[in-house]
Amino acid sequence: IRCRSNSTDEVKTKRNLLDNASNLLTNLLSGRSLGSMPIAEGAVTDLFDRPLFFSLYDWFLEHGAVYKLAFGPKAFVVVSDPVVARHILRENAFLFDKGVLADILEPIMGKGLIPADLDTWKLRRRVIAPGFHALYLEAMVRIFSSCSERTILKFEKLLERENLQGEKTTELDLEAEFSSLALDIIGLGVFNYDFGSVTKESPVIKAVYGTLFEAEHRSTFYIPYWKIPFMRWVVPRQRKFQNDLKVINDCLDGLIRNAKETRQETDVEKLQQRDYSNLKDASLLRFLVDMRGADVDDHQLRDDLMTMLIAGHETTAAVLTWAVFLLAQSPSKMKKAQKEIDSVLGQDEPSFESIKKLEYIRLTVVEALRLYPQPPLLIRRSLKSDTLPGGYNGDKNGYAIPPGTDIFISVYNLHRSPYFWDHPNEFEPERFLVEKKNEEVEGWDGFDPSRSPGALYPNEIISDFAFLPFGGGPRKCVGDQFALMESTVALAMLLQKFDVELKGSPESVELVTGATIHTKNGMWCKLRKRSHVH
């Protein structure tokens, strides 16, 4: 077919039609459609009785790595196979958008990277990703240490008070403490604002938690009632949400104004070589404003900052929570972790260089992300018809999917898949040191720790998409190294100073989920000052 039209839109439309027609033909030839996919019929109670990802796991074992989940008229394709995940996230990434997730997050994050349409995403990703360069991360490690130090001081004070009462331990909800720590770090690292939430409460902090709470609620509530006109002014929780958003936006607008007023124009290379050791404000906002000048659209900047505030806060707090939860159940692994910390750090704070030597702590962090991925599901919607490749279990032909198919890539299932991991439910940080090949799985290359030279942390490349803690392909997390180093520093500093035990049994820590996997009633722990540290 020749396109005679000069209008680019028309040419695009014709190309799309052609693409769709050729996809349809491929699908017909492959002979398998969505209709022939195994179906898991979900009862609505499955959505409320327990976290959805538990049911998705059971259905994965029952129906295989690609199945359809039907809730009444709504259907999702659930993917638990690395080859299919790689196809959606990397090879055919631009055939999919964020679907339901974008509907939920757009009112909060606007045109921020996570829900952004493709054109906005392409522009902003190119601007934001270079901000996470090595010197920035090195400056961030100093922020991770100083914020963790504030948390440690708080715990020490609480312990001193307990000691006066004759108690050797203090009891704390570490999940809440990690949440405050991660909020302080993301505020300073992304827009040079000290929430100070480890030691105080403020209207802005309350508004951030209110907004997170609403985002969480929306991600588990499947009817977007907040989109109904006037609803936001009628339903009290929606009114509160609008007020919370305004408080945060006013705060961010003030920071943006200030960054623009103190702007120093320079080019990207110079910005990336700045002397970050003497810089008062090393934040990402400083970089974004200095790089692009006063012409950056304030609204877009605010959406970018809000996105990173939400994306980088509870996720990191959750990793720390589950890392401690897992270590606390394994005294020998806890001992190994503390021994490494003592020998690498002694009494010193971690630095950019010492993170490289804290191997066991780094692997503990990634193992916590394997067992408790944040978020447990990645959400996509197909923009055109496509054929998902065949995975393992004899599904060699794959499935044809029409445009508009909603997909859950279950990272939780991938990370606990008995087909790709030995003892998938066991906590074994050492597993990432061992090469693993599985010739039986077509199209999957398996583990080869040497495949990502220079990578500090195992990633989706070495595992060929069996391990996806930060997603993969073009929409992979921009803050992955930031978050991993932050978790390594905070975990190392906590265990350097304290022995930690769970207050109750591990079974008493109930899981709930929305955007992240967290606990129902906090993760209560007993902290005791380590005897050799004075």
Binding stretches for ligand HEM (CB under 6 A):
113-114, 125, 190, 307-308, 311-312, 315-316, 319, 374, 378, 469-471, 475, 477-479, 482-483
Q: Please, which residue, 251 or 483, has the CB nearer to ligand HEM?
A: 483
Cβ 77 to ligand HEM shortest distance, Å: 15
Residue 319 Cβ vs ligand HEM, minimum distance, rounded to whole Å: 5
Q: Distances from the Cα of 1 to the Cαs of 5, 13, 267, 268, 531, in angstroms?
A: 12, 13, 46, 44, 78
Nearest-approach distance from CB 323 to ligand HEM, in angstroms: 10
Alpha-helical segments (H) within 165-292: 174-191, 203-220, 231-234, 236-261, 268-272, 284-292
Tell me the three state secondary structure of residue 534. coil
Q: Which residue is nearest to ligand HEM (CB)?
A: 479
* DSSP result, 265-297: ---HHHHHTS-GGG-S---HHHHHHHHHGGGS-
Identify the DSSP state of 42: P
Task: Find the shortest distance in angstroms from Cβ 480 to ligand HEM.
Answer: 7
Tell me the closest approach of the beta carbon of residue 519 to ligand HEM, in angstroms.
17
- Whole-angstrom distance, CA of residue 354 vs CA of residue 489: 10
Quick check: 107 and 226 in contact, CB under 8 A? yes
Residue 147 marked as a ligand binder: no
Is residue 284 within 8 A of residue 193, CB to CB? The reply is: no
> Which residue's CB is nearer to ligand HEM, number 104 or number 483?
483
For 147, counting Cβ atoms within 10 Å of its Cβ (0-12 exposed, 13-18 middle, 19+ buried), the class is buried
Q: How far is the CB of 327 from ligand HEM (least distance, A)?
A: 17
Q: Shortest approach of ligand HEM to residue 460 CB, angstroms? A: 10
**What tokens appear for 246 in the block?**
């305004």
Q: Which CB sits closer to ligand HEM, 320 or 500?
A: 320
Q: Is 92 or 374 the residue whose CB approaches ligand HEM more closely? A: 374
State the minimum distance, in angstroms, from the CB of residue 528 to ligand HEM.
Answer: 27
Choice between 111 and 475, CB closer to ligand HEM? 475
Q: What letters, b where the CB count within 10 A reaches 16 and e where it falls short, cover 45-71?
A: ebeeeebbbebbbebbeebbbbbbbee
Shortest Cβ distance from residue 422 to ligand HEM (Å)? 23
Q: Which is nearer to ligand HEM, 107 or 312 (CB)?
A: 312
CA distances to 98, 240, 241, 310, 332 from 208, in Å: 23, 12, 10, 8, 38
Helix (H, G, I), strand (E, B) or coil at 79: strand
CA distance 80 to 412: 8
Question: Which of 90/530 has CB closer to ligand HEM?
Answer: 90
What amino acid is encoded at 221 in this protein? F
Question: Contact 283/186 with Cβ under 8 angstroms?
Answer: no
CB nearer to ligand HEM: pick between 328 and 491 = 491
Between 39 and 511, whose beta carbon lies closer to ligand HEM? Answer: 511
Q: Is 74 helix (H, G, I), strand (E, B) or coil?
A: strand
State how far the Cα of 322 lies from the Cα of 330, in Å rounded to an integer: 13
Please provide the DSSP assignment of 321-389 as one string.
HHHHHHHHT-HHHHHHHHHHHHHHHTTSPP-HHHHHH-HHHHHHHHHHHHHS-SSSEEEEEESS-EEEP
Binding residues: 477
Binding residues for heme: 477
